[in-house]
Amino acid sequence: MTRAHGLHTHLLTRNDYQALIKMKDAKAVSDYLMKGDYAQLLEKASAAYPGALHLANVFRSLLVSRCYHLVGVAPENCGIFIEAYLERFLVEDMKRILRAKHAEKVVDKGSLIPVPKKYDHVNLQAMADAATLQDALGFLARTSFGSVVDVMPVYEKYRLISIIEARLEKTYYDSVLLPTLKGLPGHATIEEMIGTESDLVNIGMIADLRARRVAADAVRALTHAPLHLTSGELAMVSAGTPESIPQVVAKTRYSALAQPLQDALEAGKDESIDHLVRLEIYRGTRSRSVTSADSFAYVLCYLREAEAETNNLISMVTGKELGLPEPRIQAALCS
């Protein structure tokens, strides 16, 4: 926890963001970052401006090294939890590989999050080299994600890669993350935070898949075990239509999410479900990092804030490189 407090001081502050968003281009953003933790990696990258894609890789490398550093220094059960929490990087990489296999395209290995080999329990390289989607899923057989293959009949029916991605998320929360919560110091707060995240991801996934006309029972089967929502509430959300889901959500503890969710489900509006969920999780984390500064939950807050910082910087340099106006970049940030 003390380490997390120390590391937290390395994160960008609100003032940094305000300064960064006003920068005239992506190179200026990159130059500004030469002062902090990013300096060493950016110097290695190139003397000239290397481009947003390369910068994104630099930001992700730092995120990975920041996060996995905590696994090494944390007490055993806390380390297990952090390691399990960070398997979300593996999930993201698996999603990218499976999307490419679904579309019968070559996996761009350079675009994967560089998870250290020691923590790569699923053999991402072999998955990426697999010939087909089935072959790639075959590599998960003896891992915690082995049950993902069970969703293949539903995937075959709808031919939506989102179904496999939802199943990966379910396995991540139900089988990887939740079992590590017990016995943690400040267990209740951690469970509250992870539970909220899991519920928000559930709601987002249900709304997204229902909008894609996936049957309610198939969607219900893809939801993770609810921690704060009751099973009844989750069943009601799953059974809803894209139009009625916001009204159902309004009757749960996530009532504040109802209106933004309705906006996100409207075709003409820019708001999207995945970004909305990300924003909600980050907002909850920011307030929690103040109230839980003396508990282990602070470590989780640090991990999430580090993740948000990486996403924000990627959004910032990409937006600047594309010449997007400040308000558009601001809207893309988790802040």
Partner 1 sequence: MERVAATKGTLQKAREQLEFIDRGKDVLKMKRDQLAGELNKLLGQLGQRANIEALFREAYDAVGYAYAVLGYDSFSSAASAVDTIEVRAFPTSMMGVVMPEVELTKKTAVDHVPTPTLAKAVAKLGGAVEKAIELAVLEAKVERLALELMSTNRKVNALEKVVIPRYKAMIRYIEDKLSEQALQEFFVTKRMRDITKVARERRQT
Q: Which string of x and - marks every residue 37-76 that binds partner 1 (by CB under 8 A)? A: ---------------xx--xx-------------------
Nearest to 240 by CA among 265, 206, 269, 267: 206
The single residue among 34, 73, 103, 256 that binds partner 1, judged by CB under 8 A, is: 103
Dihedral angle sign, alpha carbons of residues 106, 110, 113, 114: positive
Only segment of 26-34, 218-226, 252-260, 311-319 that touches partner 1 (CB under 8 A) = 311-319
Residue 275 binds to partner 1 (criterion: CB under 8 A): yes
Of 94 and 297, nearer to partner 1 (C-beta) is 94
Report how many residues bind partner 1 under the rule CB under 8 A: 42
Helix (H) / strand (E) containing 299: helix 297-321
The single residue among 77, 111, 123, 125 that binds partner 1, judged by CB under 8 A, is: 111
Cβ neighbours of residue 302 under 8 Å, at least 6 residues apart?
4, 7, 8, 11, 70, 289
Residue 274 binds to partner 1 (criterion: CB under 8 A): yes
Dihedral angle sign, alpha carbons of residues 99, 92, 175, 283: negative
Residue 34 binds to partner 1 (criterion: CB under 8 A): no
Separation of alpha carbons 278 and 8, rounded Å: 20
Residue 324 binds to partner 1 (criterion: CB under 8 A): yes
229, two tokens: 């929502």
Of 122 and 332, nearer to partner 1 (C-beta) is 332
Contact 26, 320 (CB under 8 A): yes
Of 162 and 189, nearer to partner 1 (C-beta) is 162
Residue 109 binds to partner 1 (criterion: CB under 8 A): no
Separation of alpha carbons 189 and 122, rounded Å: 30
The single residue among 24, 35, 44, 105 that binds partner 1, judged by CB under 8 A, is: 105
* CB 269, min distance to partner 1, A: 8
Range 143-202, binding partner 1 (CB under 8 A): 159-162, 165
183, two tokens: 């016995």
Residue 102 binds to partner 1 (criterion: CB under 8 A): yes
Range 207-226, binding partner 1 (CB under 8 A): 208, 212-213
The single residue among 61, 123, 147, 318 that binds partner 1, judged by CB under 8 A, is: 318
Residue 25 binds to partner 1 (criterion: CB under 8 A): no
**C-alpha gyration radius of the chain:** 20
Of 153 and 323, nearer to partner 1 (C-beta) is 323
- Rounded to the nearest 10°, the torsion over CA 194, 95, 231, 151 is -150
Residue 117 binds to partner 1 (criterion: CB under 8 A): no
- Reported as half-sphere exposure (CB side, CA atoms, 13 A), residue 122 has a value of 31
300, two tokens: 């989780």
Cβ burial of 236 (10 Å; 0-12, 13-18, 19+) is middle
Number of CB atoms found within 10 A of residue 178's CB:
18
Q: Which residues bind partner 1 (CB under 8 A)?
A: 52-53, 56-57, 95-96, 99-100, 102-103, 105, 108, 110-111, 159-162, 165, 208, 212-213, 264, 267, 269-270, 272-275, 311, 314-315, 318-319, 322-324, 328-329, 331-332
